[in-house]
A and B are shown apart, each in its own frame.
Chain A
């Protein structure tokens, strides 16, 4: 037998007991051909286009899942940022576009559709503004639509007018979904350096330099890495890094195989494989648990940033060796509500918002799925966003903020979102005002790091 029995059993264990899965197969669909001044015509073109491209997506993904015995948890679609393709629509309100996306998503049977998005790092067009202002209503009246706004890049700096606006939009979105604990905000991300090919939600969109139709795959596996690290006997940190690298390699290989097969069967191009350790609320499937396996008593204590840096880097190295198509965000996610270890760390008082911010300097994205008190001011939310954008801009990396000012909730309460989104403990924010700073508006200029030509 060419394949060793131990390898077979290892693979089976990864899936059955360590929660290894393909988190998402995401089809990127170009909508640039759908532009039309009449909003209704535009909507019907978008609907038809999505149905034409994705009608077999779910069935094909399920076939591949059965063929290889590897679960594919979500099937998703990302589209060209709607602000761009709806720019010429003669309508103040773009909520109906979100409804169209939601209807198409239901029709083809996918879990989420991303791309109700705008890229405004240097300034806003009238179409961008219309889209952003439609976000609260769009997210409150759809189930599967995700929105994102890129407000900063290393090349352009930070659009502080957009940062100020997003603080207000996030508050309005929370209010519009008050009955669900502000759930709308879980479907809204503010980015710096947003990648064009990210398959993960809520931030996926089909970037401008992308092909007509593409398959991007997101693989997860914190449980597998956690297990592998815990199996080591009194390892040095170098040995831990080595072990994570090897594990990441195996996970990535599997994701690439699945991605290529799905793309080939659908006649789409294979885009990227995004190996992101995306935790789930399942016990052990946790990034915090990996950090604690390295020797920290509780995630968030001193040493956490260093441990996360080791983890994130080793994941990338293993992935880069395994596939030439690694892209998207690739690294470790640190969402609070989706990670049982992070939730416990917050509840025990070892993990604070400030420490999470420090961790985002070395993790693959940013402040993710964090609930703050419902009376947090828009300016404070904008200031939290500004800090995170600055980290992304200066470090030439993607950073993001997905924050939920949970209506009516106070520090210590738990907000329940259900499913993969989990539940979030409400965390305290600083009570000193950032109002004047945020009200200044304008742009934080691009840093010296942008002058690379």
Chain B
């Protein structure tokens, strides 16, 4: 769906992004993580053709953004951290203006986008009287016309209240479910990325540190095991070669099937009350990746 090939950028002698190759499969939500100045905005800019890459190219549906911009961006929508509008015009006029740069969009499609973001009542008010949250919604509405297949979201929940964050999150998931939309999301809110994204790419000082399903990298596999009869459970645990990691959490050897372990615990009548893989937070993962890179340098 989207392919970044050997993409790099140098700004006045400073390497903002080292050669980056990344693939975003259709229908996936991929999180782009990194500290300020890591190269996230530069990457977004190059995907949208706003920043000229020093090397490499971006392909959307097989079309190069750098060489066939009109074809590549025909079904791409984007919103930025601080969306900008013509504040002296209404939200509705702004929508019509931005949509006109993509294609001829009929009224029904615009109205559907307005309904989707819940702005029906205020869409004809001037943008100057909109709150930050309303501007974010309007930004999402403009990104949805004409219907995109790839959505770039740069801090989409920035400045939103908790309800707004919840709504935005649900909306993104709905768009993926209902329209099969591919999403690249940059956010500082790691809990949000963890909740939404299938995969993450971690950038640090312009370098890609990690790309993929971060959950898959957890080794050894850690499980939380709580039983009514812990004495019996410990016998099984010892026999199977599990090692204690923390309170109630154990590392399961890679050759052992967790299902077989559960079966053994049940068979030993240990009274299993909890048996679940322990998922460390994305925050912990991000910090460990970031720190490992820092130590390596």
Bound together:
no
